[in-house]
Structure 1
Amino acid sequence: MSFTVAIVGRPNVGKSTLFNRIIGKRISIVDDKPGVTRDRIYGQVEWRGKKFTLVDTGGIDPEGSDVMTSHIRRQVEFAIDSSDLILFLLDSKEGLLPTDKEVAALLRKSGKPIIPVINKVDDYAAKPELYEFYQLGLGEPVFISAIHGSNVGDLLDQIVGFIDEDEGPDYDEGVIKVAVVGKPNVGKSSLVNAILGEERVIVSDIPGTTRDAIDTPFEYEGQKMVLIDTAGMRRKSRVKEDIEFYSNIRALGAVERADIVLVVLDATQEISEQDKKIAGIAHEAGKAVIIVVNKWDLVEKDDKTIYRYTENIRKEFAFIQYAPIVFVSAKTKKRVNKVLELIRFVMDQYTFRIEKGVLNELVEDATAMLAPPTIKGRRLKIYSVAQIGVKPPTFVLTVNDTELLHFSYVRYLENKLRERFGLEGTPVVIKGRNKK
């Protein structure tokens, strides 16, 4: 599992500002890509070679009784429960308030390691008012300015100091790592059991039976694989949003470790925003994706049912048009072998390499068919193209000016690559590099 760090504190102490500062971009605002999470409050961070998941939370008001306050408190409790380390953020301008002490008492009950972080510190000279934060008894505070970035590097150093170098099983290069993700109760564990052919994972109709990701190595026709059955949550509440919030955080760590992600849908349910958010996590992480529609045995069918379902999935998951779709029944095991076949096929696509000469020929043909765009009187010139990596296939275009490389032309070139080489199931990354 990925090491998880939660930012917790009362309202308006700068939690989202610190989150955005650490992530390196204003990730919690809005992304207008269809299906990509718009209210995301978690993201992956790498610092000094170590990775962790950072979680932003709503402000805690221990005495609040309105619906929104209680909802935020539940989300914070879920974040605390799923985290390995807590950043307790406080406001140096307002000083230590009674609410802060109540939040501190709540955090102590978690038994998790806590770093008290004092935000909005402009003058780091010893000030008497800063010493009051030692009253919390949570150890040495870290004084920062999230908005200016001051001392955030020192904070990150402390965070990664808590991370164990051994973050999970270390598999051989040839092993295909497959994460099974989806909303609670779509049949993830049942699918894992069907693939393995035995009851290796406890199955229940209560959402959130699986607490942590479970790795199960196995072999299929000589190919070594490992299935990562992602957690839902321990059922603490009937509030749907809290369950989804928690399962998203768990899915992040599993996706990060995987090569291929099986996004499991329930054929008896409408596609939800949560389904798309989970798929968006895999897409943004650059992982290969297979959409698995489970419980197909429970759907009343005619000769056009599968086409209607496929069309709807393509519409709802427009941002992963490259993902193959397979309809299965984990209960009857029908078409489960098709999933295994797709995993091997998609892994070949995910690691596909193309010779430089063939690539340059393809780009020359593509530019002859559709000339590169002209922006403010300047036309994009593409001098060469080369593949610089796999998992996913990644290409770099050497151009006269990367500012002229419009995303629409990148998409056009990606489509040409897919027409020629397939690349089914995998994202394709195309970057620009100035000739100079």
Structure 2
Amino acid sequence: MSVPKVVIVGRPNVGKSSILNWQAGRLVSVVDPTAGVTRDRVGHLMFVGDRYFEMIDTGGIGIVDSDDLSEDIERQIQTAIDQATVILFVVDGITGVTPLDRVVAERLRKVDKPKLIVINKCDSTKTDAEIHEFHALAPVELLQTSVRANRGRDDLMKGILSILPPPAEGEDLEGKTLAEEPELKMAIVGRRNVGKSTFINALAETERMIVSEIAGTTRDSVDVRFELDGKSFVAIDTPGVRKRKSLANDIEFYGLVRATKSIRRADVVLMFFDATQTISQVDKKLMEEIQDNSKPCIFVVNKWDLGLELGQTTEKWGKYFENSFKSMRHVPVAFITAKDSHNIKQLINLAQSIFKQARERVSTGQLNRVLQEAIKDNPPHIAKNRAPKCFFATQVAVQPPTIVVKVNDVELFSPSWERYLLGRFREDLPFKEVPIRLYLRGKTKEDGDDE
């Protein structure tokens, strides 16, 4: 990669994630007073002046992880340091130099890369006289910051730009490419430990996310860009969700909120299930969120190798989905084994296909031919001694395809007939596997008489 990487490192709870969010201008990384919140590498593409670079947050060095993932977190930190162009060594201006800060300094002393020491949490000038002690950590420039007081933000950015190496050949082009909208944004959602991060790593062909048998490893929603067949995609790995009453702490609550936000900003949602587990209330809750946002979706049954060992079949799962999600029978189903990369390319191709369906626009003529045929085959029943009439239909939007049918009186049409009409539109128009929004609109005075 030609785009420089500015990696934020330091002991736990010195405000590394806050600094990333502060500079990015939005919530990129989960922030919580609990030490060790960040586990994966979390990055954000920056464009400042005429330079592109990626700012990367890392886990706290020296953390003893509550889920025994310390080795995995450490490996992610080391990967970030190895790939870094510039290192921001963050310390806490309130607590001063700690033994763990010295451990971090000793580790970074062996890394021959440009560095800055960022003395964070300097909310006022009261700490200014004490910053000299941080000079002992490394012979590099010291910068004071406070995210809370919005102090030193511009100075920090100027400091970063001053020690970035000259632009490499192709850096600007690659930065512009990374800044462009991808071909497709896919949210990877599901309950905990269904293999979402394993799938992301298979796509990225690197261990970008920590993969563990411990449920709930991912705490941030992390965007991972990858290429396939010359096209650029973004996969959004989301925290695994569990029942609200089971949420252990604020960190998991933020993860739940971010999972739902990821659904809203995705083009297609890949809803993951474990082939060895039954569908849960959490799965149904997530599907409600997907349905409420009218997002194209694929049911992804992961760990299919284990499912086959249990004697499962694609037909059984198809029927299971139909019975569990009766209003989502249009959703296609994919069977994969992420750890072996089995059927992953086919899944991405399917995601592209349904995204294309969601953006289709049909002519008013075609739409009204389907409408008239539907009425001919199954006319709506007379209600309130009046005959329901449909005058014309038009598609008013895409993503999702949205169809408005002008009628004489909305109240004359039963919900069952509306479902029938929606089914006919799905069957006869190029929207077979995506949600459709259908609205009946009554005539107004401006439209003239019913007849």
Instruction: Give the TM-score, by structure 2 length.
Output: 0.55
Cα distance in 2, alignment partners of residues 415 and 406 from structure 1: 14
Cα distance in 2, alignment partners of residues 375 and 202 from structure 1: 60
| Contact 1:380/1:399, CA 8 A, preserved across alignment | yes
| Contact 2:193/2:215, CA 8 A, preserved across alignment | yes
| Contact 1:324/1:424, CA 8 A, preserved across alignment | no
1:382 matched to 2:390: yes
Partner of 2:257: 249
Partner of 1:177: 185
> How far 1:405 sits from its partner (Å)?
3.2
Cα distance in 2, alignment partners of residues 379 and 176 from structure 1: 45
> How far 1:315 sits from its partner (Å)?
1.2
1:174–1:401 CA distance, 2 compared to 1 (3 A): farther
- Aligned pairs for 1:76-87 (under 5 A) are none
**Aligned residue type for 2:379:** A
Partner of 1:409: 417
Cα distance in 1, alignment partners of residues 244 and 361 from structure 2: 48
Query: CA RMSD, aligned part only?
Result: 3.0
List structure 1 runs of 4+ shifted beyond 3 angstroms.
1-4, 170-174, 237-248, 300-304
**Aligned residue type for 1:395:** I
1:423 matched to 2:427: no
| Contact 1:387/1:396, CA 8 A, preserved across alignment | yes
| Contact 2:193/2:216, CA 8 A, preserved across alignment | yes
1:242–1:384 CA distance, 2 compared to 1 (3 A): farther
1:301–1:373 CA distance, 2 compared to 1 (3 A): farther
| Contact 1:350/1:423, CA 8 A, preserved across alignment | yes
1:344 matched to 2:352: yes
Between stretches 345-354 and 217-226, larger displacement belongs to: 217-226
Greater Rg, structure 1 or structure 2? 2
Partner of 1:353: 361
Partner of 2:199: 191
1:198–1:275 CA distance, 2 compared to 1 (3 A): same
Counterpart among 268, 271, 276 of residue 263 in structure 1:
271
1:400–1:239 CA distance, 2 compared to 1 (3 A): closer
1:408–1:304 CA distance, 2 compared to 1 (3 A): same
Partner of 1:309: 317
Cα distance in 1, alignment partners of residues 185 and 343 from structure 2: 20
Partner of 2:238: 230
| Contact 2:187/2:268, CA 8 A, preserved across alignment | yes
> How far 1:407 sits from its partner (Å)?
2.2
1:174–1:403 CA distance, 2 compared to 1 (3 A): farther
Identity score, percent: 37
Counterpart among 335, 339, 350 of residue 331 in structure 1:
339
Partner of 2:52: none
Cα offsets for 1:222-246 (capped at 9, x unmatched): 332211111238x9x9974558866
5+ long unaligned stretches in structure 1: 5-110, 112-169
Partner of 2:288: 280
3-state SS of paired residue (1:192):
helix
> How far 1:385 sits from its partner (Å)?
0.2
Counterpart among 220, 223, 227 of residue 215 in structure 1:
223
Partner of 1:137: none
**Aligned residue type for 2:421:** L
Cα offsets for 1:69-105 (capped at 9, x unmatched): xxxxxxxxxxxxxxxxxxxxxxxxxxxxxxxxxxxxx
Cα distance in 2, alignment partners of residues 247 and 357 from structure 1: 46
**Aligned residue type for 1:219:** E
> How far 1:303 sits from its partner (Å)?
7.9
3-state SS of paired residue (2:392):
strand
1:276–1:246 CA distance, 2 compared to 1 (3 A): farther
Cα distance in 2, alignment partners of residues 347 and 383 from structure 1: 30
Cα distance in 2, alignment partners of residues 245 and 379 from structure 1: 51
> How far 1:377 sits from its partner (Å)?
1.5
Cα distance in 1, alignment partners of residues 254 and 274 from structure 2: 19
3-state SS of paired residue (2:340):
coil
Cα offsets for 1:105-130 (capped at 9, x unmatched): xxxxxx9xxxxxxxxxxxxxxxxxxx
| Contact 1:372/1:409, CA 8 A, preserved across alignment | yes
Partner of 1:434: 442
5+ long unaligned stretches in structure 2: 1-20, 29-120, 122-177, 445-451
**Greater relative CO, 1 or 2 (CA 8 Å, sep 6+):** 1
> How far 1:371 sits from its partner (Å)?
0.7
Cα distance in 2, alignment partners of residues 227 and 179 from structure 1: 6
| Contact 2:220/2:255, CA 8 A, preserved across alignment | no
3-state SS of paired residue (2:273):
strand
Cα distance in 1, alignment partners of residues 304 and 416 from structure 2: 37
3-state SS of paired residue (1:377):
coil
Partner of 2:301: 293
Between stretches 329-338 and 297-306, larger displacement belongs to: 297-306
1:241–1:302 CA distance, 2 compared to 1 (3 A): closer
3-state SS of paired residue (1:331):
helix
Counterpart among 198, 202, 205 of residue 210 in structure 2:
202
Cα distance in 2, alignment partners of residues 3 and 240 from structure 1: 24
Cα distance in 1, alignment partners of residues 262 and 433 from structure 2: 18
Partner of 1:30: none
Cα distance in 1, alignment partners of residues 402 and 179 from structure 2: 23
Cα distance in 2, alignment partners of residues 375 and 173 from structure 1: 49
Cα distance in 2, alignment partners of residues 274 and 423 from structure 1: 28
3-state SS of paired residue (2:339):
coil
| Contact 1:180/1:228, CA 8 A, preserved across alignment | yes
1:193–1:351 CA distance, 2 compared to 1 (3 A): same
Cα distance in 1, alignment partners of residues 340 and 333 from structure 2: 18
3-state SS of paired residue (1:411):
helix
